[in-house]
Structure 1
Amino acid sequence: MDLAHAQEVFKRLYQDVPGYDIARTEKERTGLKEAGTTYGEVVPGAFIEVLLEAEPKAGEVFFDLGSGTGKATILAALAFPFSRVVGIELLPGLGDAARGVLTRYDAEVRPTLPPEHQGQRIEFIDGDFLQQDLSTADVLFAHGTCYGPETMAALTQKLTEMKPGSRIVMAGQTLQSPDFAFVKMKVMRTDWGTALAAVYRRR
């Protein structure tokens, strides 16, 4: 899809989704208030620019860790010809909001898209991404600005189950492991400021 059109569709889908309010309510309800559950949102154009650095290819699989209301996941589906896109989110209320957007997407947007987008599998999984199978991902995005050292160590180990040649876009953190080859660093604009996004390739 044309990137300008993708951003226009995205804006329409999310104009009435109060992500920060949902996240605040969910953190109170679940008691999950640690730094790693801090909510933030991607800026469409900036996210797409960063994901381009991972060189997505038609038919590949995209994973978004800590997907919130699904913004990065839906953007990846709109902007790139992935065969499958998966968002994983710890707070169920945010996952519910993402699935609500997906329902609208399926009804209002998907039928108007080219065949490679109409056939995409889009799914949102509730749970801890450290407990999920990441081995099928070709391109993976994680915004880890608020992840503590223990979470980053566990995530780095978890990412080793990805296949050789797969790419990781890690915003706000770096991967300290010989299993990943550094490709590029890029400044990514977010709704709260900027973050450095590092692109890696699984050796």
Structure 2
Amino acid sequence: MISKIIDDELYQGYLAKVYQDTQGYQRYSLAEHTLYKDAGICITYGELLYPSAKKIIHEMSKDQNEVFLDLGSGLGKCALQVFMQTELRRVLGIEASKELHTQALTAFNQVKSDFPSFWEEGRSLTLICDNFLHADWQDATIVYSCSTCFTQELLIAIGNKINQQPQVKQVFSFRPLPSLKLPLKKVFAVECSWDSALCFFYAKR
């Protein structure tokens, strides 16, 4: 237990240093607001806190061949934590905001420079700047979304897209996905940058 606490403190201290100059909240112009709204993209920013990301990791499949995908990955904190604290070979993040995407790339490059061993044995951590409804999900088997502020229309669209991805085995969403065909396995509490939330965990039987 002591070593686990020390590991958590080291991880959190290092990640805080990596992200110390980043800014999640962005001031978008009226034109940008309109562009994102018309595309159905949510620009409200929030983050899952470190201890709750560990809760999700605990529930995830431990098979290293799984592919983790973060929909709306923001600064990339959750994707990076999953990459560093699991043996998954592939972790993906898709973010529509160029500003957030650029900052996430900078953070990831710093980690790769400091700890290149995480990328050994063909492991990859990939960021994509795109609307996740239109992007290639690259064989994702585990899908996560900090979806608290998503519209009902977007939640339905996410569920429909997952239904078209037969390889997806597990889904974590902070709001229910009404159209999703995967069965709901459990609901558990998580802590986020704005408040507590519920995580709806769907999984193949």
Same topology, TM > 0.5: yes
The aligned counterpart of 2:139 is 136
Shift of 1:10: 1.9
Does residue 79 (structure 1) correspond to residue 104 (structure 2)? The answer is no
The aligned counterpart of 2:12 is 7
Backbone CA RMSD of aligned residues? 2.3
Identity of aligned residues (%): 26
Larger RCO of the pair (alpha carbons < 8 Å, separation 6+): 1
* Distance in 2, Cα, partners of 1:198 & 1:51: 14
Larger proportion of helix? 1
The 5 A counterparts of 1:177-196 are 177=179, 179-196=181-198
Aligned residues between the structures: 195
Which deviates more from structure 2 when the two are superposed, residues 70-79 or residues 162-171? Answer: 162-171
Which of 152, 157, 160 is matched with 2:163 structurally?
Answer: 160
Q: Secondary structure at the match of 2:199?
A: strand
Give ranges in structure 2 of 5+ residues lacking alignment: none
The 5 A counterparts of 1:1-203 are 4=8, 5-20=10-25, 23-24=26-27, 26=28, 30-31=32-33, 32=35, 34=37, 36-111=42-117, 113=118, 115=120, 119-134=122-137, 136-164=139-167, 166-171=169-174, 173-177=175-179, 179-202=181-204
Tell me if the contact between 1:88 and 1:125 (Cα under 8 Å) persists in the aligned partners.
yes
Give ranges in structure 1 of 5+ residues lacking alignment: none
Q: Secondary structure at the match of 2:15?
A: helix
Q: Secondary structure at the match of 2:200?
A: strand
Shift of 1:65: 0.4
Taking a change above 3 Å as real, the CA distance of residues 89 and 12 of structure 1, as seen in their structure-2 partners, is: same
Shift of 1:29: 6.8
Tell me if the contact between 1:7 and 1:45 (Cα under 8 Å) persists in the aligned partners.
no
Letter in 2 for 1:94: L
Q: Secondary structure at the match of 1:37?
A: coil
* Distance in 2, Cα, partners of 1:148 & 1:106: 35
Taking a change above 3 Å as real, the CA distance of residues 125 and 114 of structure 1, as seen in their structure-2 partners, is: closer
Q: Secondary structure at the match of 1:78?
A: helix
Q: Secondary structure at the match of 2:183?
A: strand
Q: Deviations over 1:109-136 (max 9, x none)?
A: 234x4956xx421111011100022361
Shift of 1:163: 2.8
